[in-house]
Amino acid sequence: MTLRPPVADWTSDWDHLDPSWLSDPYPIWRNLRETCPVAHTGRYRGVYFPTHYGDIREIAYDPEHFSSRRVVVREGDYRVNSPPITSDPPDHRPLRMALIPPFTPQAVAKLENQTRIVCGELIDAIIAKGTCDGAVDYAQHIPVRVIAHMLGIPATDGDRFRNWITMALQDGITNEALLKQAESEIAAYFSEQIKLRREQLGDDLVSFLIRARLPNGDPFSDHQVLGALRLLLVAGIDTTWSAIGSAIWHLATVPADRERLVSEPKLLPIAIEELLRAYAPVTMAREIVDDVAVGGCPMKRGQMVLLSFPAANRDPDKFPDADRVVIDRKENPHVAFGLGIHRCIGSNLARMEMRVAMEEWLKRIPDFRLDPTRSMTWSQGTVRGPRLLPILFG
């Protein structure tokens, strides 16, 4: 974590990398929502931070004023190009549509068995060791191994994926050199995979992308296949790992919810939606391409907006008792997977991985709590989730 000047005033000088935001952002957001619903900071060359559900929704549905050509608030000018997440209409839709088939509910159902095997193996190792870190020994491996299986590459390459993701999404926010290094290593790795599949196509995601056609009938170029693979890696791994980690953290700290889910496993899908609402991991950003006003606040062209789906999920005007986790919440139209044209393509996969991960964990490790003698940490940046999550069990 870098040392940054302390925040002087959350309404006019906020910093999403400030230690208090990283450890517990919710009281800060609640206070802003009540006093200054669209906060601003001069840091990062100017960024607005709306906290009301309605304002966040309005921005997500207005790509004319709010472009996805910059989706991360970071130091420096470097822009990552990973369409469709970094593209705007009209370029956005053809690429998005081409990526959807591997993530339909039917396609995802075929991965459930493999996901259960992955979770079972991880839990075998945890039980054999007698102690564990819920993030390091469990959550972080699940999406990596599932995506490695989808891509038809060895699960052992997963460690490299995790390093690249940490370099790109965490450390890369303040260190451009690391971000570029991650990008070039990902490009080298996947270029080799694309070359191999061009020689012999298989039944995997890389081969699917090589076979895929854009609406005009053209195949993806190698550059486009590479971009799509990089996006799936970056969008699909630490998001789900963070969501699983937050679910374990919540149940480790709220015994009543843990006990209820152990005795009522059928409640798990509903509880997962609530955990996604309360601990939504992904905060995106947009670049303002034309002067505009949102929530009565004028916004200047060239600056950015932090598009906090997690803050929208905590708006009490939309979700009664929003700061409380109600694991059997009935009405729950949360926006953890975003809103508008960029809404998450991988939501079926993420939900399945979360459900299976928690089903297997609760079945085999029903009694667990945080280990108060070891430190617990949260990630910084676009994706929020536990990175160290020491657990005692049994």
- The whole-angstrom separation of Cα 13 and Cα 11 is 6
Sequence-distant (≥ 6) Cβ neighbours of residue 25 within 8 angstroms: 16, 310, 384
At residue 146, φ and ψ (nearest 5 deg) are: -70, -40
- The whole-angstrom separation of Cα 120 and Cα 13 is 46
Sequence-distant (≥ 6) Cβ neighbours of residue 281 within 8 angstroms: 238, 239, 242, 243, 246, 310, 336, 383, 384, 385
Does residue 386 contact residue 242 with C-beta atoms inside 8 Å?
yes
Residue of 17, 28, 59, 71 interacting with ligand HEM (CB under 6 A):
71
96 binds ligand HEM (CB under 6 A): yes
**Binding to ligand HEM (CB under 6 A): which residues in 338-367?**
338, 342-346, 349-350
- The whole-angstrom separation of Cα 312 and Cα 280 is 10
309 binds ligand HEM (CB under 6 A): yes
Residue of 41, 51, 68, 379 interacting with ligand HEM (CB under 6 A):
68
Nearer to ligand HEM, 141 or 371 (CB): 141
- The whole-angstrom separation of Cα 162 and Cα 154 is 14
Tell me how far, at minimum, the Cβ of 142 lies from ligand HEM, in Å: 10
84 binds ligand HEM (CB under 6 A): yes
**Binding to ligand HEM (CB under 6 A): which residues in 242-261?**
243
Residue of 51, 239, 308, 382 interacting with ligand HEM (CB under 6 A):
239
At residue 50, φ and ψ (nearest 5 deg) are: -75, 145
The closest of 227, 228, 198, 218 to 99, measured between CA atoms, is 228
Binding residues for ligand HEM, how many (CB under 6 A)?
A: 27
235 binds ligand HEM (CB under 6 A): yes
Tell me how far, at minimum, the Cβ of 35 lies from ligand HEM, in Å: 26
Comparing every residue's Cβ against ligand HEM, the nearest one is 346
Does residue 288 contact residue 65 with C-beta atoms inside 8 Å?
yes
Of the ranges 3-11, 153-161, 290-298, 330-338, which one interacts with ligand HEM (CB under 6 A)?
330-338
Nearer to ligand HEM, 306 or 344 (CB): 344
193 binds ligand HEM (CB under 6 A): no
Sequence-distant (≥ 6) Cβ neighbours of residue 373 within 8 angstroms: 390
Of the ranges 42-50, 192-200, 234-242, 261-269, which one interacts with ligand HEM (CB under 6 A)?
234-242
Distance of CA 371 to CAs 80, 134, 246, 249, 259, Å? 38, 11, 15, 11, 18
Does residue 324 contact residue 75 with C-beta atoms inside 8 Å?
no
Tell me how far, at minimum, the Cβ of 245 lies from ligand HEM, in Å: 11
Nearer to ligand HEM, 33 or 230 (CB): 230
Does residue 53 contact residue 302 with C-beta atoms inside 8 Å?
no
Which helix H or strand E contains 252, and what residues bound it?
A: helix 238-253
Tell me the β-bridge partners of 67. 287
Nearer to ligand HEM, 122 or 350 (CB): 350
Nearer to ligand HEM, 7 or 234 (CB): 234
Nearer to ligand HEM, 145 or 393 (CB): 145
337 binds ligand HEM (CB under 6 A): yes
What 3-state DSSP class applies to 3?
Answer: coil
Tell me how far, at minimum, the Cβ of 130 lies from ligand HEM, in Å: 29
Residue of 25, 281, 385, 386 interacting with ligand HEM (CB under 6 A):
281
Nearer to ligand HEM, 7 or 228 (CB): 228
Tell me how far, at minimum, the Cβ of 83 lies from ligand HEM, in Å: 8
Nearer to ligand HEM, 41 or 242 (CB): 242
Q: CA 347, 352, 357: angle at the middle one, nearest 5?
A: 125
Nearer to ligand HEM, 194 or 344 (CB): 344
Q: Which residues bind ligand HEM (CB under 6 A)?
A: 68, 71, 84-85, 96, 99, 231-232, 235-236, 239-240, 243, 281-282, 284, 309, 336-338, 342-346, 349-350
